[in-house]
Amino acid sequence: LDLEAEIQRLKKEKNAIILAHYYQDGEIQDLADFVGDSLDLSRKAAETDADVIVFCGVRFMAEVAKILSPNKTVLLPDSKAGCSLEDSCQPEPFRKFREQHPDHVSITYINCSAEVKAASDIIVTSSNAAEIIDQIPLDKPILWAPDRHLGSYLAKKTGRDMTLWNGSCIVHEQFSERELIRLKTQNPDAKIAAHPECHEGILKHADHIGSTRAILEYVINGPDQKYLIATEPHIIHQMEKAAPHKEFIPVPGADGSCACNNCPFMELNTLEKLYLCLVNNGPQIVMPEDLRVAAVKPLERMLEMSK
């Protein structure tokens, strides 16, 4: 069985589009019609005229596609592809958090469930968060969930009063400052690019802090030849494709092994499961319409407020 050819054939037959996040395996990225971050992927999902969206990413991303395109079939190759940030922020405690801060605007990172989105005022991604926070009236305090590292980075960057939920990403939480310093000592000419979901021990050494899209632009367009990358290492696939003459070194976790920083949820999607979900027309994302209608509002606010 030629999996790649079969996937292409089924895609045509079903008028499907394959969307993939930068954190997916390289072979999935290469098969996708579009590769991007959450913001670009949600825009694509909203505007596609395909009948079926195969979402190679994690569940909350596929849910966003369904929320924005309710009449399309949205497939997720592995229904267990979750997210530690989503898990850290359950709807009931989140509603209580909001009740405790009634005067706050609730700005929530897109890495959360549809229920938490529905209970939020505005959704943001790491590429538009600062831009959106800057549009909130200065006298309004902000309630932020679920990633505390991204939240404290944004509070510092925007100078805003932000009350933070205590969540974190298991991938970015694991990067080791000691290993980063060891790598930087061995490669003094390398620039450090880090995602703002990393903890302060990593961010304080970074030459550039940004979303996956911003990190890609920085390393591809920058004059330097060598970069230490502190985010999920599958993104290096796009870096090597766009700038094959440059060197990209993944920053390891505390035990010095890089593989421990692969996202275990993103890794659940494989080429075989991608093929099978097209054959079986499932797993599909299904959502009660009242939840979808509530969750679409803060997402539409995001799309209106970001360029």
Site residues (CB under 6 A) for ligand MLT?
21, 37-39, 125-127, 195, 211-213
Smallest gap from Cβ 109 to ligand MLT, in A, equals 7
The residue (of 23 and 275) whose beta carbon lies closer to ligand MLT is: 23
- If you count them, how many residues does the chain have? 307
Specify the residue, 69 or 127, whose C-beta has the smaller distance to ligand MLT.
127
Measured distance CA(306)–CA(90) in Å, rounded: 27
The tally of CA atoms less than 13 A away on the side-chain side of residue 233 is: 16
Q: For residues 176 and 149, what is the distance between their CA atoms, to the nearest angstrom?
A: 15
How many Å from the N-terminal Cα to the C-terminal Cα in the chain?
Answer: 43
Among the listed residues 56, 5, 50, the one whose alpha carbon sits nearest the alpha carbon of residue 28:
56
| Residue 101 · residue 143 · CB < 8 Å | yes
Determine the residue with CB nearest ligand MLT: 37
Determine contact, residues 215/191, Cβ cutoff 8 Å.
no
Q: Which is nearer to ligand MLT, 146 or 252 (CB)?
A: 146
Least CB distance to ligand MLT at residue 225 (A): 24
Question: CB-wise, 242 or 293, nearer to ligand MLT?
Answer: 242
Measured from the CB atom, the residue of 97 and 109 that comes closer to ligand MLT is 109
Residues 104 and 143 sit within 8 Å (Cβ to Cβ): yes
Full strand arrangement of the beta sheet holding 105-109: 122-124, 105-109, 142-145, 162-164
Taking the complex as a whole, the smallest distance from the CB of residue 186 to ligand MLT amounts, in Å, to: 27
Q: To the nearest whole angstrom, how small is the minimum distance from the Cβ of residue 39 to ligand MLT?
A: 6
Q: How far is the CB of 195 from ligand MLT (least distance, A)?
A: 6
Q: Please state, in angstroms and rounded to a whole number, the distance separating the CA atoms of residues 170 and 148.
A: 12
Work out how close the CB of 213 gets to ligand MLT at its nearest, in angstroms, rounded to a whole number.
6
In angstroms, give the least distance from the CB of 218 to ligand MLT.
12
**Chain centroid, CA 267 distance in Å:** 14
7 burial level (CB within 10 Å; 0-12, 13-18, 19+): buried
* Nearest CB to ligand MLT, comparing residues 195 and 237: 195
Please identify, using beta-carbon distances, which residue of 197 and 275 lies nearer to ligand MLT.
197
Give the nearer residue to ligand MLT in terms of CB position, either 82 or 282: 82
CB of 215 to ligand MLT, least distance (A): 8
Number of neighbouring beta carbons within 10 Å of residue 96: 9
